[in-house]
Amino acid sequence: MQLLDLDKITLGMSGAWAGFLRDWDRTLRAGNYPETTRYNYLLAVAQLARYLGDRGSGGEEGTHDPLNVTKPQIEAFQAWMISSRSASTAVNKHKALQQFFKWLAVDEGEIDRSPMEHVKQPRTSQKLIPIVQAEDTSKILAACRGKTFLQVRDEAIIRLLCNTGARLSEVGFLKVEDIDLNTDSVHYHGKGSKDRRVRFGHRTARALSRYLRARAQHNGAPLPDLWLADRGGSHWPPTASRSWSGDADWPLD
């Protein structure tokens, strides 16, 4: 399943923003950046473009050209991100915009200085992620118990998440070839192209084996993606990117 759709990302955007985004994506692809990183980078710039575009091309509040973006406009966008999303989301946008305007200034020579200079990164508070208790895990698995395709698939997903402590995006974008039932291990493609192989226990292996048998009878069986939608022949897309925390005491294996 293709995550990055440039036509969709640039839809309704001015020609100047859209052109630079396509050129930057070409540079990112040449640098072998993962698709998820490219998507997050391009999305941040697209959000800035729409934010400034909605404020018009005149005056100090908006612009339809990335070459005219100013430090106050970046700060206004960042403050809007903090109030409408979260400080952590604003940090991610800040880092992406740093890379974009650095590319415009250094690689392309289109601007003399980046408007990101002296824009402070938002401060974030450290929050402890609560550990899912064993009884809660059992309740989740009980909700997946059954023989329908959806139940078999969801049990395999939940067990793999809990047993290996992987990110939802890592589990969600697995391919069939990433599962090795001979060694009871999974090949994860982590952030920053950092791959790793992780072992899982016998209950997770049994759940995956059951799912793969059900998957073989599914309309989408020829697809390389591991997880399939309940109906039709399409891939099941992960809907979030938050992590699950593993616990050795969970009764999963």
| Residue 113 domain-assigned (yes or no) | no
Query: Residue 175 belongs to a domain with what CATH number?
Result: 1.10.443.10
Q: How far apart are CA 1 and CA 4, in angstroms?
A: 9
Query: Residue 95 belongs to a domain with what CATH number?
Result: 1.10.150
pLDDT at 59: 53
Q: Which of 84-88, 200-204, 245-249 has the lowest mean pLDDT?
A: 245-249
Q: Is residue 252 pLDDT above 70, yes or no?
A: no
Joined tokens for residue 127: 């929050």
pLDDT at 215: 95
Greatest Cα pair distance, the chain, in angstroms, is: 64
Output 131 or 217, whichever has higher pLDDT: 217
The verdict on 40 and 141 lying in the same domain is no
**Residue 64 near residue 16 (C-beta atoms within 8 A):** yes
The pLDDT confidence band at residue 230, using thresholds 50, 70 and 90, is confident
pLDDT at 163: 93
The verdict on 140 and 253 lying in the same domain is yes
The verdict on 136 and 179 lying in the same domain is yes
Q: What are the backbone angles phi and psi of residue 131, rounded to the nearest 5°?
A: -80, 130
| Residue 89 domain-assigned (yes or no) | yes
**Residue 90 near residue 78 (C-beta atoms within 8 A):** yes
Mean predicted confidence (pLDDT) in 82-107: 96
Q: Which of 55-69, 79-93, 135-149, 183-197 has the lowest mean pLDDT?
A: 55-69
Helices (H), the chain: 6-9, 15-30, 35-53, 71-84, 87-102, 134-144, 149-164, 168-172, 202-216
Q: Is residue 56 pLDDT above 70, yes or no?
A: no
Mean predicted confidence (pLDDT) in 85-108: 96
The verdict on 247 and 149 lying in the same domain is yes
The verdict on 135 and 99 lying in the same domain is no
The verdict on 165 and 62 lying in the same domain is no
Total structural domains within the chain: 2
pLDDT at 87: 94
Q: Which residues pair with 185 in a beta bridge?
A: 180, 199
| Residue 121 domain-assigned (yes or no) | no
The verdict on 183 and 148 lying in the same domain is yes
Joined tokens for residue 172: 């969600």
Phi/psi-derived region of residue 56, left when phi > 0, alpha when psi is between -120 and 50, beta in every other case: left
**Residue 164 near residue 154 (C-beta atoms within 8 A):** no
Which tens digit of pLDDT belongs to each residue from 188-227? 988 767 899 999 999 999 999 999 999 999 999 999 999 9
242-253 in b/e form (b: 16+ CB < 10 A) is: eebebeeebebb
| Residue 117 domain-assigned (yes or no) | no
- DSSP secondary structure code for residue 201 in this structure: -
Single-letter code of the amino acid located at 148: T
Please give the residue range of the domain that contains residue 232.
Answer: 129-253
pLDDT at 88: 92
Q: How far apart are CA 76 and CA 86, in angstroms?
A: 14
The verdict on 134 and 250 lying in the same domain is yes
Q: Work out the mean pLDDT of the chain and round it to a whole number.
A: 87
Task: Show which of 77, 107, 137 is a domain's final residue.
Answer: 107
The pLDDT confidence band at residue 1, using thresholds 50, 70 and 90, is very low
Mean predicted confidence (pLDDT) in 43-52: 95
pLDDT at 175: 94
pLDDT at 194: 83
Q: Is residue 2 pLDDT above 60, yes or no?
A: no
The pLDDT confidence band at residue 181, using thresholds 50, 70 and 90, is very high
| Residue 142 domain-assigned (yes or no) | yes
| Residue 122 domain-assigned (yes or no) | no
